[in-house]
Structure 1
Amino acid sequence: MVPLPSSAIAPAAAADSIVIDARNVTLALGQPPARVEILRGVDLQVRAGETVALLGPSGSGKSSLMAVLAGLERPSGGTVAVAGEAFERLDEDRLARARRGRIGLVLQAFHLLPTMTALENVAVPLELAGVRDAFARAEAELGAVGLGHRLGHYPAQLSGGEQQRVAIARALAPRPILLFADEPTGNLDGRTGAAIMDLLFNRHRATGATLFIITHDPGLAARCGRIIEFADGAIISDRAAA
């Protein structure tokens, strides 16, 4: 594993601090009588360093909740704070800055830029954020996910598992305190998906980022320390994993 430059390491959230504090969060689309309630009064607190699975069937509102918690979607009601920053008080520019410093995202569909190499896909967002050692940090992070030999390859030259490794490196290179992974193995075969999950948990331990996984797979959820079951836009169970 390639060590990260010291400037790449951001201060971690204090142990046992609250990194997610959501209170009575609602999300609705449309107007009466066609109004659709997607989130129904969600209350949720997550502490620094936890591994949390949000488990539920497709269409239950899991990804919508993630979007609200990550500051990608404004809730219709309630409050969301991440690492003490109240998202509802921020305008769009300040919200984007708050996300950049706090939140990493790994999605099912990779979302790599096809005209950029693996190294550029990780480094360019860092450059745009004003990181001086962007390419050195990106190279170190790609080495940490086992892709130090694939820096110059484009997404089309990489397997699905390798593309997801690039996405993980991109998400963790800024050293967020909170990493969301939304169905991260959904486009992968079982063996590759298991390797990706091993990597996610390993990088969680190495970086100290709180890991929040959205999944419909009970087996994957069982790997987390805490399982939150979700149905019809609401939490129906919140328990420690067996």
Structure 2
Amino acid sequence: MTDPQPASALSSPTHNPAIRARNLRLTLGQADAPVEILRGIDLDVPEGQVLALLGPSGSGKSSLMAVMTGLERATGGELQVAGEDFAALDEDALAHARRGRIGIVLQAFHLLPTMSAQENVATPMELAGMDDAWERAGDELTAVGLGHRLGHYPAQLSGGEQQRVAIARAIASRPPLIFADEPTGNLDAGTGTEIVDLLFGRRAETGATLIIITHDPALAERCDRVVTLADGKIAEDRAGKTPARA
């Protein structure tokens, strides 16, 4: 295993950190039989960086994403996300802090089956109190190539189209941080490549920080930076081989 570089080694001094973690820990299970999932993560992610979290199943990458998005509370350590102290917040406060700061794209799409594509994208923005949610949803779906599918329901869309809706939903409110957890896992190779190209392109246009959780080395190498996890720790931290800005 390559020794990890310092947490700031691949961070530009001209960029503010979108994420700053110090000795981040997550322990699950009962008090008499604790299971350490994250075992002291130090990580700085500059604004605008495209970062891949790489590692085998059980390495802790999805758990790290859950903590960084506020879906899971860390057991210990420090965590700053988009200017908010996530380590100091309870579950309700974390849910509020996520709003407007974080967009998430998941492997299983997670679209509401009784809502149209435009409703799936608009509803989270409406709940956040955005007045132009419906128009934004239509514009973002058009930007991802689904302007002709606004009224279609998930069951009427292909897997690739559903993931396009999920990307539109994550990006439409212009959050500074976007997380994608195995975004091509349920897609064939050709469609997966199209989705990755689309995700990178939309990220480049919005300037968001993008963190991709993957077990695919080829996808990881397209990112600016590759952080490999093993047994809940950072095993390697390096630049990607063929980073693509779009």
TM more than 0.5: yes
- Give the match for residue 241 of structure 1: 240
Q: Report if the CA contact (8 A) 2:54-2:213 is conserved.
A: yes
In 2, the alpha carbon distance for the partners of 1:128 and 1:30 equals: 34
Q: Report if the CA contact (8 A) 2:226-2:240 is conserved.
A: yes
* C-alpha distance after superposition, 1:74-95 (max 9, x if no partner): 0111111112210122233332
In 2, the alpha carbon distance for the partners of 1:169 and 1:241 equals: 26
User: Runs of 4 or more off by more than 3 Å in structure 1?
Assistant: none
In 2, the alpha carbon distance for the partners of 1:102 and 1:144 equals: 21
1:40 aligns with 2:45: no
In 1, the alpha carbon distance for the partners of 2:31 and 2:91 equals: 27
Q: Using the TM superposition, give the Cα deviation of residue 124 of structure 1 relative to its aligned residue in structure 2, in angstroms.
A: 1.0
1:66-215, aligned counterparts within 5 Å? 66-215=65-214
* C-alpha distance after superposition, 1:102-133 (max 9, x if no partner): 10000000000000000000011111110001
SS at match of 2:178: strand
Q: Report if the CA contact (8 A) 2:73-2:91 is conserved.
A: no
SS at match of 2:36: strand
In 2, the alpha carbon distance for the partners of 1:169 and 1:162 equals: 11
In percent, how many aligned pairs have the same letter?
A: 70
In 2, the alpha carbon distance for the partners of 1:154 and 1:225 equals: 35
Q: Report if the CA contact (8 A) 2:228-2:236 is conserved.
A: yes
Q: Normalising by structure 2, what TM-score?
A: 0.91
Q: Structure 2: 5+ residue runs without aligned partners?
A: 1-13, 242-246
- Give the match for residue 50 of structure 1: 49
- Give the match for residue 244 of structure 2: none
- Give the match for residue 62 of structure 1: 61
In 1, the alpha carbon distance for the partners of 2:159 and 2:141 equals: 15
Matched residue type, 2:199:
L
SS at match of 2:186: coil
In 1, the alpha carbon distance for the partners of 2:22 and 2:206 equals: 28
Q: Using the TM superposition, give the Cα deviation of residue 209 of structure 1 relative to its aligned residue in structure 2, in angstroms.
A: 0.6
SS at match of 1:101: coil
Q: Report if the CA contact (8 A) 2:107-2:185 is conserved.
A: yes
* 47-56 or 27-36, larger mean C-alpha shift: 27-36
CA-based RMSD of the aligned residues comes to 1.0
Q: Normalising by structure 1, what TM-score?
A: 0.92
* 22-31 or 214-223, larger mean C-alpha shift: 22-31
Q: Using the TM superposition, give the Cα deviation of residue 35 of structure 1 relative to its aligned residue in structure 2, in angstroms.
A: 1.5
Q: Using the TM superposition, give the Cα deviation of residue 29 of structure 1 relative to its aligned residue in structure 2, in angstroms.
A: 1.0
Matched residue type, 1:124:
T
Q: Using the TM superposition, give the Cα deviation of residue 32 of structure 1 relative to its aligned residue in structure 2, in angstroms.
A: 4.8
In 1, the alpha carbon distance for the partners of 2:103 and 2:162 equals: 16
Matched residue type, 1:210:
T
Q: Report if the CA contact (8 A) 2:224-2:239 is conserved.
A: yes
SS at match of 2:99: helix
* C-alpha distance after superposition, 1:145-165 (max 9, x if no partner): 000000000000000000000
